[in-house]
Each structure stands twice: as structure tokens, then as C-alpha cells.
């Protein structure tokens, strides 16, 4: 299988598919990370809705905290009718716990596997991977659990979007003891940044195993139709720090300035 | 239910309602975070006073530390007569503890539910969510407790404003282990910043589930009439760090033209 | 009671009273925070001396570490005769411990209450609140203890100045787990900053419940007559970081003509 | 043995061999460190593939987490046929654990030694050294274990590439308690950096015991043919921080004429 | 006793006496803090040598680590004959432990008190206060111990110089849990800074209870005659960070630059 | 003994001897600190080789991790024949442990003392002091152990070079709990820095008890002949941070003249 020939799974977001050179690779598991309000869940619901409503790729949503009715409400804000999709056997929103999910994936003919088979599910949204941290305080064990969990999803033939919460509003979280991004096939970052007295959002793809991808950092917005990826940030440096500077001023200035 | 059709609850602060595209969404729970002296409690009292005195939306104040008489005094400084509102059955200031509140919300026909029903309360101010941290040292358990607490308030049909204290005077708190903003529907930040030898205050809306909102960072002041949201900060970069710089440099650089 | 009508208690420092729009509010408790050598104790002694010697408002000094004779010596350096004030029943310097103080304030007709009544004391200086940290390692419990302590002082009708030590010479202390400033009515910061090869001192008022206050950051000096608050820092940005920069660059830019 | 005469082992990446002044030194152990998505495993597979498929230097891959079939898939994306190499006795992908590996290397005629002898293996990829951290919480003991492990590989005559994961996306990891780079013969860093609104990758060689090496920081890309090392970053300062600035300011300064 | 009338004790360093407006106040205790190699011990020996050899103020050196013979050697490098001073009963170098010293100062007619009385000692150098940290892990208890220790020295009529080690080569130590500078009468900082490709040393006086003092930051050097305090740093900003910038460039530049 | 008359021990590196105003002081112990790949061991071997092969000052190498054969190999890369020096009784490479070394130095007529006497050793390289950290978790005890160890080496008349590992690639290690540099007579820092898209190395002398030394920060390189110290870094500020900036800004500013 060559790189170009890999089957692609559209995220339902044209600009993001474009950055991914066509979409996620079928059967891969991708991490989507962001701070509160960056639209992680919206992006994930859009991925599931597109599959179930438009691509004939039914989907599962595994939620460890948010009640299904909240998903129905939140989806309806974007015009996505999750109740109808459930009625049509295109979607299941499953409220469960990391413990139960883990045991289920380990058992033969588990509940999730049956449900995925029944729906002929092709996609799964996990909201959120952060809840697995309650299972253990040992980062090594956590990683093994997550790796096993991801492999369980892959065995079921699902393309997975895994949400991770990042508490840092700007820049990186200060203490990153372990990084689950090492065990996923892709890594998409959602970031806040301050620009001209307003807070904007930026998206970048850091990792996409088995495929090339766009390296640029793009603006996106959360509209009544969901996430929309816009143009690349032009003329800004330091976007990932959350506090960029113009590169017309920057080049000129920084020779004199000092980085603390 | 479309985004535009969602019922709105006015905060009583015109400039903030404007940023929220009309106000809070009815039945939502919004986090309001700030350092000491940023006016979190004032903003919260204003929200409650507006509902009880002007919008026929009675309200509750749950306080875990400040005595009710302190609220009466503080409110009177802004011309809000909380004693009169209590006498008119438009307001209850309830001093309680996180433990009691939690047990009460779990019970059938609890005290809070009765009181809310009796008042036909539509709003609640929780001052402050930070006191829930005393219930457990486990961030995961804390989050579950808060999530359950918020759902309890929502079941009672209340629109909730939840105060969170942030000890960092400038910039972000250095160690953010968990972030309760993941479980609230909205997230409003109050910040100090230093500008031209004085300390100013800035307000921004980071998250508003189910609605668009203004992205810009606005000045506000605490006046004898309460919080007043002013214009956006123009020509400043790095506001969220608390130490912005003028962006007039760009114009200068363009005037000189770069040779590169 | 309106904002303008609140009774004011002069700090004895004209420039600070000016920043406070007349002085502290009677019956309030204000935190005064600073690094070693910023003059916290001097400011506090001045507040007490002014009350006892000039405003007919006798005062108490609660000290948990410094011996009374050290206060007599230090005060005499500024021309304040604390021994004479004690003899005239205008002042008591009480060396005690947080434990004893706490138990005393809880008891009916405690020692402090008797002493305050006997002197008709109106002011109290607590030097320092930092010693309460020895009572518990639990930040939530500490806060409850301090809140109860402050309420005890208020019941006695005292206007309180509470000193807090801050170990960071420049900028903020790196690990702020709890912030007692949330439970006080006011918050005054004393800071070092480096300017033109010398170390200066800056004062700012962050919080003053129930009143407006100056927002600017002012220079002050410790003179043989005590603390003297001088002019605002002009043309400096980043004062609170302790390492400000001149903003005269903008003037420079304008001299060269901006095209924008 | 002089420096120039040391036998060299090509990495299979022309640009990297060039930076290493010909390749790795035969029998040395080199650390390759990077964040998720920087291509550490790709670089390692390329090193192994080159040896097995082109240089008649069979190789072993020790993996502590990733399943062999994942290697086959990932390698095939770059056109490397690991199954065929295994069939031809040029490669073994061994999924094991740090514990088993450690015991095996300590035993006489261990499994790894037999396998290496049978294949006449000359290369080994360890993916990843980070998993040894599960063996002990004591950084000193960890270092001894790793040192012993590396010596075990050297006794078998292998040239080793050891992968280490670094969780920090930009800049250095904040808490570096111990550094295994002190016990390896070489140290290659893979870094992200943001440049002109896009995320680029940079490679540098910090240490190469017994040989000189290029000191410059070079761009690289992950192409369908594997890692390709490109030109040095010109005109940028602060690359290792992940957020470089243009140094073209100096050119600008010269255009305006310096008097000095 | 007015400020101007306080008896002064010369440090033996003209430039430092000048900064202290005449010298240390008799009977005070001053903290001298610096990184390795900043000359803390040299400054302290000079203070003791000046008293014993020139001012008829015999002195004690309390050392908790360095052997007396090392003091003789180090002093001889600056032309100070400590052996001769001991023979003349002008000096005692006492190697002891914090535990013994503490017990001794608590006892009536302790060893130190006898020795000070016998010599008619007026000065003491404590090298270093940092060793008291071994007595307890509790910062509050440590502070009480040090406060008691300092009061013990004062009871004996000694003017004390207390050395404290600071591990941070540039800038502040990152974790300052407690600060002994709150219990001393003075606070002198020795700092490294980088300037024009070389490492310089800077001295500043932050605190001097009961007296005014110079606020500027001065260069100093360690010469064959001991510490010599030179001119103020002109035209530099950010000296205390260890990495100053020229203020000719700085003012101009920082309007464009950004503080991270 | 005056400063100028102190016997000097050449390091074998002309540029470093120059910075040390002739070399190390005989009988002193000097700390050499650096990150992986900065050439600490090379510098140490060069010091030993020069003594044994050229200055008739035999030497010992105490190694706590690296096998002697690795030293032979590494030395041979620079043309230093350690085996021949051992045969000629000019050198002993001793692999031992901190525990054994400590006990040995405490005993009368220990093994090390005998060996040093037999060789008439004048120099010792300790590689590395960092391994002493395994002896205790108590920083105070560690310091006492190291101080005792250094005094043991001094009693044997040896001039000691002590290697310390620093994990931070750029700048200072973030958590410096204790600093062994307080107990050594000298302190030499090896640092990486990024300059014009390449990684350079810088050396500086911070401390040299009993002697003046160069204060400037010099470039050095590791060549086939060992460490070579080059010129001072000109026109760079912030070298110790690892990310310097050009200081040519000043000239620019002066060319434009400020109006202020």
C-alpha cells in the first residue's frame, strides 16, 4: 500500500481535509487537543455527523461525562439531527466509563463490538481521552491502557477521533509528564491566540502517520454550520505561543530585542 | 432549536450582553474567573439584581464564605437593595457549604429546589466554585462533583453564573491541574493588565456553547453603578499576558520600508 | 449607605489617602503585601501612629515575631514615640501567637476585646498574616481561619491593616496556591522595580471593596518621616514585572513620521 | 585508531551522513530524540532498512509497544518491505519488554545474542528507550540500567540507534531530572519550530563521541522516500526555542548605514 | 535615637560604606546573598579583618563547613593575617555546627558569649546561614530558629554579617519558600550579570532598617586587596535579571518587542 | 603566600590557562560543568594527559560509570595513549563507586592514597561528581560528603578536576536545590549556544578562589587535538541564556539619534 493509495475518511470539514491531503487515513486514530471553548467537541460531532448523514459511514460517540441529551442539543445548534440519525441506525451516543469501555473491549463479543457490527460503524468519537487518566496515576500504565484501547477500536475497523483537553489557555501546558500523542496516528492541535485585541483560534496538524500533511497554521471559526477552516495566518510569528507578533516589525525589532 | 432562537438571559450589563450576542443562553451555566479585585462578585450581584429587580427573574445567591450581611452592604454600594428584594420574595442569599449543597441537590425535594420553586427563581449565583475544591483532592472526582452540581442547577431551570478565583494577578495561573471550564457552557475571563503606568481591567468571552460571541478583549470599569464594559483595546498586543505592548511599531517599520 | 458617604480612616500618608479616595473604609480589613525591605512594617506603624497620635483613634499592634522593643526602636527612627503612646493608653504592642489570638477572638470577652474596649481602639496592625500559615498546611482551612480572624477584628469595630510577606523580589511569587486577598476588603501591593540602574519602589491599590480608587502605579520612598507616596511612573511599561521599559519609543516613532 | 580512520555506518540519509562526517561510528550507540510526529521512528526504520536492504548489515528492531505489523505497514508507506527482509533473514522485529530484554542481555547465550549471531546483525533500533523508565523511579538506577543495556548491545557488535520521546512540542522539556544523553555516544535532536505561519522540522547533532560533526541546524522533511535532510536554516536566530526570529534586521541596519 | 545619630560600623569597603550611608548600624544583622564565586566570603572576611586590624573591633567567624585553616589561606591571598589577629586576641575562627551554636546561645554564660566577652568582640561573620536549613524542613520553624539566633547575637552586642548562598547563577532562585531576609535588619545582594560577552558582578542594598541607603546597582570587583565597589551601571536595564540590555537601544526597541 | 606567587597547574589547554591567569592553583579542586556533548570528559582527559605525558605530574582518573577501555578508546581519538601512560606508571584509570571511594578516603592508608603515593600523582579527574547524588537524597548531607571527599583529595596533594553533568541544553537547570559549586575552589562552565543557525560552545570561569581570572565568555571547539579555546564572543548579548542577540542595535540607534 503506497502513501497515495491509502483510503481517506473525510472529516466533513473541507479546509481540514485539505490540510490532511484528503482526510484521515481509514483505520487510524487521531488525537484532537485544545483548551476549553476551542471547539473540540464541535469538530468531533461534525466528523461523526458527516459520516452518518452524508458518507454512509455510521458512527459511535463514546462519552464519559456529557449526557447524550446534551449532544442532541449541541448538535442541533449546528443543524445536525442526532436523534434522527440514531433512529435511522446511523449513530449511537453511548454514555459509559473508561473502566467499562476497557473491560468491554477486552472481552470476546463485547457490547461495543456488537453495536459497531450492527450499525456497520466506520467512525468513532471518544470524548474525552482525558477521562482515562482517572484509571491510574502511573503515566506508563496509562499509556499502555490507551494503546490497548486504541488497538481495540482499530480491530473493529473504526477510524477514531480522540479528544484531549488541554488546560493551558495560551501556549503549552507546563507539566507534560506523558504524551499520549506518541501512541496515536495523528495529532491535531487547536489553539487560542491573541491578535489585534481579540482572541482567535488556530488549527495545525502535527502528525499524520503514513501521509504527508499541510504544515501551516490556519485560522478557523465556529459558525452556525460547524467548524470552518480559513486561511493561513500571514505575517505572524509565534502563533503557537498564543501571543504572536507581526513579522514585518518582528524581523526588524528582534535583533535588538531580547528573549527572556 | 436553532442558534438564533435560543432564549437569552440578560446579564444586566449592556456591553457584556452585546459581547454575548444578547445575553446568556437560558438554562446554561457560565464560569466567571478573575483575580482578587477584578469585580467577579460585583458582576455576579449585578446579574442577580437585574433579574430580580428588573426582569422578573428571581434569583438565588449561594455563598460558601461571605456572610449575607456583607452582600447587603456590598450591593448597597451600587444602589442595589438586596434586603428589599428578599422581602419581596425576589431573592434569597443562602450561606451554606459545598457539602450541604451537594447532598441537598441529590435528594428528592431538597431545600434548594423548594426555595427555587417558591420564588420561581430563574437565576443563581454561586460564590464561589473554588470552595468545592475542599471536597476532594482528586481533580477527576472534583470535576464529577461540579458536573453533577451544575446539572442539579440546570434541572431546577436556573441560569447559573459560577465564580472562580484565580490567584495569578497577571497572566495565567502556573499550575492548572484540572480545568472546570471544560464542564461549563460558557467561560468569561476577567483580567488585570498594566497600561501606561496604571492597572486596567479587561474582559473576554472564551466559550459560549450554542452561540457565537464577540472575540475581542474589552476594557471594563467598576463604577458606582456596577460593572461597565467599555471599548475594545486598540493598538495593543499581549493583553492576556497582562503586560501589552503598542503595535504602532508596524506603522513605523512600513514607513522605513524593508529591503529584504 | 452610598459609596461617597462611607466613613474614611486616614492612613497617615497623604499620597496613599489620595489613591484610596480619602482613606480606608472604616471597619474594613486591608492586605498590604511586599518583599523584604519594601517598607510594609513602616507603612503599618505609620497607620497606627497617625491614628493614636493625631486622629484620636487608638490602635493595637499584633506581632507574632518581632519583639515590642524592636517596634519602639524602629518607630523612633521615624520620630514616632510608641512608648509615650502606650503610656497615654493610645497604643498597645502585643506580642502573641496566631494560636492564642485565634482562641482569644473565639472566646466571649476575650483579652483582645477587653483591651480594645479599654483603649477605645479603632485601628489594628497585624504583623504578619504570613504567620497564620503555620497553623495548617491546608490552604482551604487557612483561608477559613483568616476569614474568621478578620471577622473577629471587624466585630470589635477595628479598621485593620494586615501585612503579608512576598518572597519574590521582582514580579509575582511563582507558586500562589491560595490567595488571602480574596477574603480582605482591600489589597495594596508594594513592589521593587529596577529603573535606570537603581532599585525603586512602587505602590498600587488593586482592590478596595465599596469604593473607587486610583488605578495608577506610584513611586514611593521611605524617608526619615516614613513612607511618602510620589508621582505616578510616567513613560514606563511593565512595572509590575519589576523590569519596566521606557515607552518613549513611540515619541521617537512619531518624530520620524508615521504614514498610517 | 585515529578519528578519521573510524569505521562509519551510513544512516541511509545522505544529509545526515554528511552532518555526521560519514555516518555513525561502528559500534556506537546514538540517542535520537523528538516530540510526537517529528519522525523519530521513520528515521530509525530508514537506518535499519538501509542496512538490511542495501549495506548488507542486517538489523534488529526492539519494540516495547508498537506491534510488528504496525512496523510493516509504516515501512511500506516509504516503500520499505520489512516482511521480505525478515524472510531473507536480514531483519527481525522483536516485540518484547524492557524487563525481558534486560534479563536476556545479562544471561549467557541469551535470545537476542543468538538472534543477532544468526542474522550476523550489525544494527539495532530501540523504540523506545523511554519505556525503560517504567523499570524504576530512581533516576540513578535508570541510568545504570540503560548504561548496562547499551554495553550489552555493544558487546554484540551492534551499532545502535536509541529513540527517546520528548513531550515538549517547542523548546526543552521543563523538568529534566536525569539525562540519558550522558551515557550515549551520540545525541541527535529533532525539533519542531514555527516559521512564517507554518510548522517546520529541524535536526541537529549535539554529540558524536570520537568524531567531529556539523554544528549547524538543518531543516528536514518526511517524504514518501523517508527523512530527507535539507539546507541549514539561514537568517534565523532562536531555532532551538521553537520560535525563531529573522536576523535580517542586521541587513536592514546595514542598509541604513552604521557609523560604528 | 534619630536616624542620623545611629552608630555606624564600617564594612571596610569604602564604596559599600558609601552605599550604606556610613556603614552598617551598630548591633544590626545584615544578610549578604550571592551565587558561587560572587565573593560573599571575601566580603565577610574583609568586614571582620577591618574591624579586628583597623577599627579596634574584634570579631568572631562562625563557620559550619569551611575549616579555619582554609580561612587563614583565603585571607592571606588578600594580605589579611588572620593567624596574627588570633594571636593578638582580635579574632576567633570557630568551626561549629548550627545545632551546637543554637544550644550555646540559649544557655546562660554560653561558650560564644564568654568568647565574645573575653575578646570584647564587636563583629561576627556567620558563614553561612544556609546551613541552618539542615535543622528543620519546616520553613516556619527555620525562621523562628534564625530569628532567635540573630537575637542571641544582638544580645551579645555584635554587629552581624550573615552569608546566604543562592544557587541561581542569573536572576532569582525559582522556588523561594521562605525568606530569611524578613527577619534581618539589612539585605545586600551580590549578583552575576552578562555584559558585552563577559561576566560582571553587581551589588545592591535592598534593605537597611533604620537608615536610608543608596538604591543604585553598582559594579564591584574582587581584587588582590579584597572587594572594591565601583561605579553604578550606566545605561543598562534589567541588571537584576542577569542579562541587561542597553537603554539606548532598549527604549527604542521595546515598544516593538514583546516580553514573554 | 601572595596571590601571584601561588603555584599553577597547567590544564594543557593554552587558552584556558590564559583565562585562569596561568592555570589552576596547585592543590585546588575545580568544578567543570556542562550538558551532554559539551566536552567535559575531553577537557578532563586533556588535563590528565598533559600532566602525565608532558608535565611530569602523574594522574588518577576516578570513574564511576565509564569503563577504563572506553577511556583508552576516547583518549586515542585525540592521540593520547593512556595505555602507555599506565604502563609507564604515569596514570591509573580506576573504576570504582562513590561508596567505595568515600570509605577508602576515610581509612588510614587507603587504597587511593597508596596508589597516589606510588605514582607520585599530582592530578586527579573525577568523572563525575554527579554520581555522588546516589549516596543520599538529603542535599545537606550530599554537600558534606562532597566536601569531605574534596578534602580527602587535597590531603593527598592532588589538584582536582571534578566533572558535573547539567541536563539543561540551553540556559540554567530549572531546579537547583543545592549547589556543589559552593564547596569547590573553582567553577568552570561549558555551555551550548545557538548562533546564526548553528550550535556553538562557550566556556567561562565563574570562580577561582585565591586568584583573579578572565571574566569573558569564550568560544571553544573540540578538535582532533582536544579542546581549543578561541576568541571571546564579540557583539553578542545573552550568551549564557543560550540564545544571544546581536548588540549592533546600539550603533543603529546612535546613527538615527534619539530626540528624547
Dump pLDDT digits (tens) for E133-162: 888 888 878 888 999 999 999 999 999 999
Q: What is the side-by-side order of every strand in the sheet holding A226-232?
A: A91-95, A59-63, A123-127, A159-165, A29-34, A186-195, A198-208, A218-223, A226-232
Return the pLDDT at D176: 52
Q: What are phi and psi of A243, to 5 degrees?
A: -135, 75
Per-residue confidence at B242, pLDDT binned at 50, 70, 90? confident
Query: Looking at CA atoms only, how far is residue E243 from chain A in angstroms?
Result: 9
On whether the CB atoms of residues C239 and C233 are closer than 8 A, the answer is: yes
Question: Within 10 A of A185 (CB to CB), how many other CB atoms are there?
Answer: 22
pLDDT above 90: residue F63? yes
pLDDT above 60: residue C259? no
Q: Testing the interface with F: which of A252, A257, A258 to mutate, by most F Cβ within 10 A?
A: A258
Residues of C in contact with F256 (CB under 8 A): 256
Residues of F in contact with C251 (CB under 8 A): 259-260
Averaged confidence pLDDT in chain C = 88
Query: Which tops the pLDDT comparison, B136 or D121?
Result: D121
Dump pLDDT digits (tens) for C81-107: 999 999 999 999 999 999 999 999 988
Distance CA E258, CA F3 (A): 46
Strand partners, D162: D31, D126
Return the pLDDT at F3: 40
Query: B255 and chain D: CB distance < 8 Å anywhere?
Result: no
Averaged confidence pLDDT in chain E = 88
pLDDT above 90: residue E205? yes
Residues of A in contact with E236 (CB under 8 A): none
Question: Within 10 A of D238 (CB to CB), how many other CB atoms are there?
Answer: 20
Supply B34's cell numbers: 478573575
Dump pLDDT digits (tens) for E19-28: 999 999 999 9
Q: For chains C and D, tell me whether 3 or more CB atom pairs sit within 8 A of each other.
A: no
Contact criterion met (CB < 8 Å) for E133 and F140: yes
Query: Which tops the pLDDT comparison, C171 or B260?
Result: C171
**What value does the mean pLDDT take over residues D11-32?**
96
Q: Testing the interface with D: which of F33, F34, F35, F37 to mutate, by most D Cβ within 10 A?
A: F37
SS (H, E, C) E205-257: EEEECCCCCCCECEEEEEECCEEEEEEECCCEECHHHCCCEEHHHHHHHHCCC
Query: Looking at CA atoms only, how far is residue E174 from chain B in angstroms?
Result: 13
Dump pLDDT digits (tens) for F164-193: 988 888 776 554 555 788 899 999 999 999
Query: Which tops the pLDDT comparison, D233 or B11?
Result: B11
**What value does the mean pLDDT take over residues B116-122?**
97
Strand partners, F232: F218
Dump pLDDT digits (tens) for F136-158: 888 778 888 999 999 999 999 99
Residues of F in contact with A254 (CB under 8 A): 245
**What value does the mean pLDDT take over residues D203-214?**
92
Return the pLDDT at A3: 40
Least confident of A196-200, B133-137, D4-8, D181-185: D4-8
Across the interface, of B173, B242, B251, the residue whose CB is closest to C259 is B251
What are the DSSP E strand ranges found in chain C? 8-9, 24-25, 29-34, 59-63, 91-95, 123-127, 159-165, 186-195, 198-208, 218-223, 226-232, 236-237, 245-246
Residues of E in contact with F176 (CB under 8 A): 167-168, 173-174
Distance of CA A232 to the CA centre of its chain: 19
Return the pLDDT at A180: 85
Return the pLDDT at F1: 36
Query: E168 and chain F: CB distance < 8 Å anywhere?
Result: yes
pLDDT above 50: residue D64? yes
Distance CA E72, CA E93 (A): 9
User: Can you tell me whether residue C208 is helix, strand or coil?
Assistant: strand
Q: For chains B and D, tell me whether 3 or more CB atom pairs sit within 8 A of each other.
A: yes
Residues of C in contact with F260 (CB under 8 A): 248, 251-252
Q: Testing the interface with F: which of E32, E33, E34, E37 to mutate, by most F Cβ within 10 A?
A: E37
Q: Where are the alpha helices (DSSP H) in B132-247?
A: 139-155
Per-residue confidence at B136, pLDDT binned at 50, 70, 90? confident
Across the interface, of B238, B241, B245, the residue whose CB is closest to E255 is B245
Contact criterion met (CB < 8 Å) for C224 and E2: yes
Residues of B in contact with D248 (CB under 8 A): 258, 260
**What value does the mean pLDDT take over residues B213-231?**
94
What distances in angstroms separate CA F185 from CA D233, E33, E227, F31, F151, one per listed residue?
41, 18, 18, 8, 11
Across the interface, of E241, E243, E253, the residue whose CB is closest to A257 is E253
Neighbour subunits, F (≥3 Cβ pairs < 8 A): A, C, D, E
Query: Looking at CA atoms only, how far is residue E34 from chain F in angstroms?
Result: 10
Return the pLDDT at F6: 65
SS (H, E, C) A112-134: HHHHHHHHCCCEEEEECHHHHHH
On whether the CB atoms of residues B160 and B129 are closer than 8 A, the answer is: no
Residues of A in contact with B237 (CB under 8 A): 194-197, 243, 245
Return the pLDDT at C4: 43
Least confident of A239-243, B195-199, E30-34: A239-243
CA torsion through residues A143, A148, A154, A158, sign: negative
Query: A259 and chain E: CB distance < 8 Å anywhere?
Result: yes
Across the interface, of A238, A253, A259, the residue whose CB is closest to E253 is A253
Contact criterion met (CB < 8 Å) for A259 and F243: yes
Return the pLDDT at F109: 84
pLDDT above 70: residue E178? no
Query: B252 and chain E: CB distance < 8 Å anywhere?
Result: yes
Return the pLDDT at F259: 31
pTM for the whole structure? 0.87
Dump pLDDT digits (tens) for E65-90: 888 999 999 999 999 999 999 999 99
Distance CA F81, CA F77 (A): 9
Query: Looking at CA atoms only, how far is residue E75 from chain B in angstroms?
Result: 45
What number of C-beta contacts closer than 8 Å exist between A and F? 17
What DSSP character marks residue F13? -
Query: C253 and chain F: CB distance < 8 Å anywhere?
Result: no
What distances in angstroms separate CA D116 from CA D89, D93, D122, one per listed residue?
10, 12, 8
Low-confidence ranges of chain A (pLDDT < 50): 1-4, 175, 250-260
Query: Looking at CA atoms only, how far is residue C159 from chain B in angstroms?
Result: 16
- Please state at what angle helix E98-106 crosses helix E111-119, rounded to 10 degrees: 80
**What value does the mean pLDDT take over residues F22-47?**
95
Contact criterion met (CB < 8 Å) for E222 and F239: no
Across the interface, of E74, E199, E245, the residue whose CB is closest to F209 is E74
User: Can you tell me whether residue B39 is helix, strand or coil?
Assistant: coil
pLDDT above 80: residue F252? no
Per-residue confidence at C254, pLDDT binned at 50, 70, 90? very low
Those of residues 221-250 in C touching chain F at CB distance below 8 A are 248
Return the pLDDT at D109: 84
Query: E197 and chain F: CB distance < 8 Å anywhere?
Result: yes
Amino acid at each position: 500500500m503506497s502513501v497515495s493509495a491509502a483510503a481517506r475518511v473525510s472529516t466533513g470539514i473541507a479546509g481540514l481535509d485539505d490540510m490532511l491531503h484528503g482526510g484521515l487515513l481509514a483505520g487510524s486514530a487521531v488525537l484532537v487537543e485544545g483548551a476549553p471553548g476551542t471547539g473540540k467537541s464541535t469538530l468531533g460531532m461534525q466528523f461523526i455527523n458527516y459520516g452518518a448523514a452524508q458518507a454512509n459511514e455510521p458512527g459511535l460517540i463514546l462519552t464519559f461525562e456529557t449526557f447524550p441529551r446534551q449532544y442532541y442539543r449541541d448538535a442541533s445548534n449546528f443543524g445536525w439531527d442526532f436523534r434522527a440519525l440514531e433512529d435511522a441506525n446511523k449513530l449511537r451516543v453511548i454514555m459509559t466509563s473508561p473502566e467499562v469501555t476497557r473491560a468491554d473491549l477486552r472481552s470476546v463479543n463485547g457490547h461495543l463490538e456488537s453495536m459497531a457490527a450492527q450499525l456497520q460503524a466506520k467512525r468513532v468519537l471518544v470524548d474525552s481521552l482525558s477521562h482515562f487518566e482517572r484509571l491510574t496515576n502511573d503515566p506508563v500504565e496509562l499509556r499502555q491502557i490507551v494503546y490497548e484501547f486504541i488497538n481495540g477500536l482499530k480491530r473493529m475497523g473504526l477510524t477514531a477521533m480522540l479528544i484531549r483537553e488541554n488546560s493551558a489557555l495560551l501556549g503549552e501546558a507546563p507539566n507534560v509528564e506523558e504524551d499520549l500523542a506518541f501512541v496515536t496516528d495523528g495529532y491535531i492541535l487547536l489553539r487560542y491566540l491573541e491578535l489585534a485585541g481579540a482572541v482567535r483560534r488556530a488549527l495545525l496538524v502535527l502528525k499524520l502517520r503514513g501521509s504527508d500533511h499541510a504544515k501551516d497554521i490556519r485560522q478557523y471559526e465556529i459558525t452556525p454550520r460547524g467548524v470552518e477552516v480559513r486561511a493561513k495566518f500571514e505575517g505572524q510569528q509565534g502563533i503557537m505561543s498564543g501571543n504572536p507578533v507581526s513579522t514585518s516589525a518582528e524581523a526588524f525589532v528582534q535583533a535588538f530585542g531580547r528573549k527572556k
